[in-house]
Structure formats: C-alpha cells, structure tokens
Amino acid sequence: MSASAIELRNISCEFGSQKVLWDLNLKISVGETVAIVGESGCGKSVTMKVMMQLLKPNSGQLKWFGQDVRTLTVQEQRDQRLRLGYLFQGAALFDSLTIYENVAFGLRQVGRYSEQQIQQIVVSRLEEVGLDIEIIRKRPSEISGGMQKRVGLARALALSPEVMFYDEPTTGLDPVNSRRIDDLIHSVKQAHGVTGIIVTHDLRTVQRVADRIVMLYPRRKLADDDSQVIFDGTLAELASSTDARVKEYVGDELNATPQKTSPSHKVTEAA
Amino acid sequence: MTTSAIQNPINTLGRATQAFCGGFGSLIVFALRMLASVKRGLPRRHVVVPILYEVGVRSVPVVLITGTFIGMVLAVQTYQQFKMMHMESRLGAIITMTLVSELGPVLAATMLAGRVGSAMAAELGTMRVTEQVHAISALGADPINYLVVPRVLACVALIPLLTAIADSVGILAGWLFSWQVLGINSHQYWMYAVQFVTGWDVAAGLIKSVFFGCAIAIIACQQGFHCGAGAEGVGRAATQSFVLSFIAILGLDFLLTVVLNNTYYLIWPEAVSLATSFSGFALPGAW
C-alpha cells in the first residue's frame, strides 16, 4: 500500500448553519492524480482548501505526509506547506507585482535562494509552462486569462512541490487553452512525479489527467449517516457506475475509451 | 402594548450590543495576531517602501490642502469673537493652540482615514475576494506579516509626520490670512503663538496622531481581511473602515486628551494652581 500524501479523517466544515462537509474521509496516495468532482455546492473547493489548510475545519484530522497538522509548530507547518503547490481558480496573481515578481514570490519568502538562482528558476518555470520570457515585466492585468493560469502554475511549481492542487484549472478557458492546461498538469506529473489533486467540473479534464475520481455529493441532500463520497474509483468504473446520482452527473460526456493525454506530448508545442 | 412590541427594541438593542462586542473583540484579536506576527520578524524593505510612499508621499497634497483651509477658517472664525473683546492681536495663540493640540491631529487623521484607510480596506478586500490572501499563505508567507504589518508601520510612522505638516501649513496659512487680510500685526501673531503654546501641546498632538495612525491601519486591514464576497463586500469594507476609523479617532481623542492632561498636571503640578487662579474655578480632579 502506497504512502499517503494527504489524508482527511472525519472532517466537518460548517459556515454558519450550513454544513458543507460532514464526517468526510479521504486519502490521497503519493504519485496519484485524483480528480474531485461533483455538482456545485457539494464542497469540492472547500475540501481542497481544508487539505491545504487555507480553511480550518470545525472538526476532524488533516494529515500531510502522514503527520497530523495539529501537532506541527507554526514553522513546521510553513515548511511542510512548501511541499504543496496550489493553482487557484482565478490564478490569484498579485496585481501589484510583475509576472517575474509573482513567480519569484515564494522563492523570496523561503529566503534560501540568491537572486541569480531565483532568476534561473523563474525563467525555467515560465518556459516549462510554455510562456514567452518577454512577459516577465508585464502585470497580470496585461495578459490573457489562459496565460494568467499558466503563470499561476509556474508560480506554484517554482518551489518544486510534491503535491499540486488544481482548483477548477480549466474553468473559463477556451478549448485550446483548456487542453494546454490539461497537458501541463499531465507533464508536471510525468516530469516531476508530482501528486495531483484536481477539483473540476470539466469531465474532459478528468478523462485526460485523472488516475482516480472521487465524487462528492451535497451534504444537504444526504441522510445523516450517508457518506458524502458517493463514488471513488477509476475512470472506467465511473463510466460503468450504476449509481443514479453518478449517472446523472456524468451523463453522456464520458467516452467509452478514455483519452489520456499522451506523456510524449510536449507542452511547448501546445503553447 | 403587547409583549413582542416591547421585546423587539430589546432584541434589537441586544443584537446591536452583541454585534458591537463581536466586532470589537474581532478587532482586538486581529491586533494581537498582528503583534504576534511582528514578533516573528519584520517585513522586508522592498515590501515596506512602496507602502511608505503610498501612505506618506501621496498623502501630502491632501494634508496640505486640509491644513491650509483649517488655518484660514480658524482665523476667520476667531477674529470676530476676539475683536469684540479687543484681543484680536492674540489670534496667533488660539490658531496655533487649536491646530497643534486638537484640530490638526483630528482632521488630518480623518482625511487620512478616508484617503489611506479606505484604500487599504478596498485593496485588501479585493485581494481576499480574488484569493490573493490565500495565495500568500499557499506560498509559505504569513499574510498578516506581509500585508498588515507594513501598513500599520507606515501609518504609525507617517501619520504623525503628516499631522506635523498639516499643523505647520495651518499655522502659516492662519498667519498669512490674519496678517494680509485681517490686518493683524505679524510680530504679535508669532509672539503670542510662542508664548501660549508649549512643547507639551505640540507633543500631545503628535502622540495622539500616533494612536490615530495605528487605529486607522488596524481597522482598515481588519475590515479588508474580513470583507464579504464580491464587489459589494469590498465596497462595504471600505465604507465601514472609514466610519469605524472616524469613531475610533473621536473616542481616542477624548481618552487621550484626558490621559495627557492628567499626565501634564502630574508632571507639572504647579500648572493646576496657575490654571485655577487664572480661571477662578477648579476643575474636578486634574481634568
């Protein structure tokens, strides 16, 4: 059995009187790419933010690489968090900084790299996500949404994380840019062996990049003792699931034969 | 009158009290988190300098305009009253005293709560709504240390300086208006200004402005950090920041005036007897 990268045990998360997550259990193993899917309001993004500890759950246990996060000191938490990268839904680039400064942000915070090393890493990461180096002096508002997503990915990858979180990576992008991002997610896994956790509505992305699919269901529609995870399996199992809720969500979108992104596909070509 | 009709205002009052206590408590917790963050280390220079520029340099025009008009308005308003008592030559004393101890610090802080505080609340609110605050955490940095501490430091350091500029410009504008328009003797204006206004009065005004600066920054950052979703949430945070800062400025002004006056009379007890013999009555305690 492979080691766990991220583990949630009996996690509950409420906002006011609204229960978003209730007694959720989920384990992500090292090296796998897991897609978390489900209808709007089922708690996908909240689950991911809890995993990253950007939101604190009301109860339950979060483990990073087998260690209970609550037992870590503030400094240890910060060090452990550097092993995790996060691509935000809207990229969340800092408006007041240039593209270069955005990608260099995490490296500067760590404080163990010289400015020359930072420059090398920034350039290599931007090239890796297929962006022209000429954009480094621009502000986020001066580049397109697809480019912002790729800069966000370069920023997240700058610290060479072992686990990458992708929050709705293709939402709001045209099909060409969506494919580019899917290719990047795949190439990041191939090149760096990064564990991936993707929250998405886009079943094409799921088809292309996921090893395992977890489907959540809104807590308000479930009985108290029902699990919020209504599906946990491979793409083939998802396509053949007999659960009415799963079938309703998937519809006819999944093809009989999954179309995984070719590992040999070059990101720069797509760009 | 039915019971529910009586209960409603009581409920409303109860809810308002609860909201006030909750809000105040949240502000205190936020300030303590900020202090804890400072303990772990100060933000880097390249983070602080642009904020110093934004808070300090870009506020100078507003402060100059505010100070100029306060000085001239004070001259116009007090001239008539003092002329009736044939004391118009002492206009310099009242303008300088009012500016350095009360109006300068309070009005400069109010202007800065509008210009700097609301902008901070809106900026941090937008960063929160667009997940930039979460992104800072995700990249291993402390958002309080990166975003709040430099802003508080900038306000604490620069609002007293801006207040000093407002005071100086106000005094100069008051002098120029009194001398050129109202025909007050220039020498007498400065003589009485120096005679009546002590170093303590100037220091008291600047001490107040340090507290005002701290309050403006903490309130603005707290409102930005806890703003609601969307453009409406950001707008509300900016408005709330100004309203709460203004209330805090007035409340702090009262408290600090009492504390500083008591401190003054504690250090120089002879000033109490002088004030009593001059005015003919004694204030309760050292007020």
ipTM: 0.84
Residue to test with chain A: of B120, B126, B139, most A Cβ within 10 A: B139
What the block records as the tokens of A33 is 């790419």
A140 has a chain B CB within 8 A of its CB: no
3-class DSSP state of B11: helix
Of the candidates B40, B50, B132, the beta carbon closest to that of A92 is on B132
Contacts of A61 (CB under 8 A, 6+ apart): A7, A8, A9, A10, A11, A68, A70
Asked whether B119 and B17 are in contact (CB, 8 A), the reply is no
CA dihedral A214, A215, A220, A226 (to 10 degrees): -70
State whether A52 and B138 contact (CB < 8 Å): yes
What are the pLDDT digits (tens) for B152-201?
A: 999 999 999 999 999 999 999 999 999 999 988 899 889 998 888 888 89
Rg from Cα positions in chain B: 23
Contact check, Cβ <8 Å, A109/B141: yes
Nearest Cα of chain B lies from the Cα of A22 at a distance, in angstroms, of: 23
Parallel, antiparallel or unpaired: strands A84-87 and A212-216: unpaired
pTM for this model (two decimals): 0.82
Q: What are the chain B neighbours of A85 within 8 Å (beta carbons)? A: 138
Q: How far is A109 from chain B (nearest CA, A)?
A: 6
pLDDT, one tens digit per residue, over A73-84 is 888 888 888 899
Q: What is the DSSP letter of A71?
A: G
CB-based contact A106 B131, cutoff 8 Å: no
Q: State the DSSP code for A172.
A: T
For residue B138, report the phi and psi dihedrals to the nearest 5 degrees: -65, -25
C-alpha separations of A185 from A70, A189, B249, B268 in Å: 30, 6, 52, 73
Which helix or strand (DSSP H or E) is residue A9 part of? strand A4-15
Q: How many CB pairs under 8 A join A and B?
A: 52
- Which chain B residues are within 8 Å of A86, Cβ to Cβ? 134-135, 138
The angle, 0 to 180 degrees and rounded to 10, between the axes of the packed helices B60-84 and B104-112 is 150
Instruction: Give pLDDT tens digits for A65-124.
Output: 988 999 988 888 888 888 999 999 888 999 989 999 999 999 988 888 899 999 999 999
pLDDT tens profile B35-48: 988 887 888 888 88
Residue A59: how many CB atoms within 10 A of its CB? 12
Q: Find the mean pLDDT for residues B225-247.
A: 91
